[in-house]
């Protein structure tokens, strides 16, 4: 059975056209396109939104995920419910303007979520990339790290697991940062799951992904320890005495993710080199 949500601002817009049909025909700027999912920036009545539409992943992808104990992303429902959940708990995330899912099997049904653009924000990836040319002051760097720790702590406190928690998915309010205040938001919640309370397993995976995505910054150990203290809300001595293995497991997983990324990068480079060789070698051609 189809499910539809429209914000008051859009409630009368689809009197004639079904929301699903609109989502699949509206023009916009493509920001990301992968198998079964496309993200576009669109304008509705002059206002900017991000439209994420899912066209089904197929039974092959579902069975492949089941075989390795993972849960496939079947549509826009995760993002829709995660954004609403965060809004109820006053955690900054894209505000949902519209959502729809058509009936049918999970492998082929279409769905979309339309969210208001978070204007005036930069990703933490972009912010930290700029540090190479213009390093921040130590107090500014510390303020940002502690803000990230407090924000992730809040995500987990309200029962949300991101499952893709890299710094590119955390956003910093540009104007407030210029005034000395670090206010964050989160986006790209299509893999998110709600779980209360969040288990150590999922906390570890979120925290390890975040650590992995910051390893290239070479943050000092004491800065990492400040993150731990802020995230837990307890003195470091008490944290490590109560659960000495948890943070070691976070670090091990982050380093394992880095090794995996390096292997994948090397494999991609080798594949590209092979393609160049085959395409330009002496025996190339029909």
How many structural domains does the chain have? 2
In a domain, 282, yes or no: no
Local confidence band at 269 (pLDDT 50, 70, 90 cut-offs): very low
User: Tokens for 91?
Assistant: 């955690």
In a domain, 284, yes or no: no
In a domain, 266, yes or no: no
Q: Is the pLDDT of residue 274 over 70?
A: no
Is 164 marked active-site? yes
Query: Does 112 share its domain with 126?
Result: no
Portion of the chain with pLDDT greater than 70, in percent: 83
pLDDT in tens, 81-92: 999 999 999 999
In a domain, 180, yes or no: yes
Q: What is the mean pLDDT of residues 151-163?
A: 98
Local confidence band at 75 (pLDDT 50, 70, 90 cut-offs): confident
Q: What is the mean pLDDT of the chain?
A: 86
Separation between Cα atoms, residue 38 and residue 11, nearest integer Å: 24
pLDDT in tens, 63-74: 555 555 566 667
Query: Does 111 share its domain with 143?
Result: no
Local confidence band at 279 (pLDDT 50, 70, 90 cut-offs): very low
Q: What is the mean pLDDT of residues 131-160?
A: 95
Q: Which of 45, 164, 188, 243 is catalytic?
A: 164
Residue 213's CATH number: 1.10.510.10
In a domain, 268, yes or no: no
- What's the gap between Cα 41 and its chain centre? 17
Separation between Cα atoms, residue 248 and residue 245, nearest integer Å: 5
Query: Does 57 share its domain with 164?
Result: no
Query: Does 64 share its domain with 130?
Result: no
Residue 29's CATH number: 3.30.200.20
Separation between Cα atoms, residue 125 and residue 85, nearest integer Å: 25
What is the extent of the structural domain holding 9? 3-116
Residue 18: what pLDDT? 83
Q: Is the pLDDT of residue 257 over 50?
A: yes
Query: Does 134 share its domain with 255?
Result: yes
């Amino acid at each position: 059975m189809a499910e539809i949500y429209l914000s008051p601002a859009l409630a009368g817009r689809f009197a004639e056209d079904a929301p699903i049909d609109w989502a699949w025909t509206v023009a916009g700027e493509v920001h990301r396109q992968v198998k079964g999912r496309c993200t576009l920036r669109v304008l509705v009545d002059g206002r900017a939104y991000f439209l994420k539409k899912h066209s089904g992943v197929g039974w092959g992808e579902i069975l492949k995920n089941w075989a390795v104990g993972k849960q496939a992303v079947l549509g826009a429902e995760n993002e829709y419910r995660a954004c609403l959940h965060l809004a109820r708990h006053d955690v900054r995330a894209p505000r949902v303007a519209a959502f729809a899912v058509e009936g049918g099997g999970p492998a082929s049904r279409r769905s979309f979520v339309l969210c208001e653009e978070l204007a005036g924000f930069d990703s933490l990836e972009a912010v930290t990339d700029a540090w190479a040319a213009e390093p921040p002051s130590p107090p500014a760097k510390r303020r940002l790290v502690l803000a990230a720790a407090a924000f992730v702590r809040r995500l987990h406190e309200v029962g949300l697991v991101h499952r893709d928690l890299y710094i590119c998915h955390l956003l910093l309010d540009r104007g407030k940062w210029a005034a000395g205040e670090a206010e964050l938001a989160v986006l790209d919640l299509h893999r998110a799951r709600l779980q209360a309370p969040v288990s150590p397993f999922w906390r570890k995976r979120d925290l390890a992904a975040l650590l992995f995505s910051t390893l290239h910054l070479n943050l000092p150990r004491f800065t990492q320890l400040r993150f731990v203290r802020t995230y837990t809300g307890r003195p470091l001595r008490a944290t490590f005495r109560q659960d000495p293995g948890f943070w070691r497991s976070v670090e091990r997983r982050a380093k394992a993710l880095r090794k995996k990324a390096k292997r994948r990068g090397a494999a991609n480079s080798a594949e590209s080199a092979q393609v160049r060789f085959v395409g330009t070698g002496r025996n190339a051609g029909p």
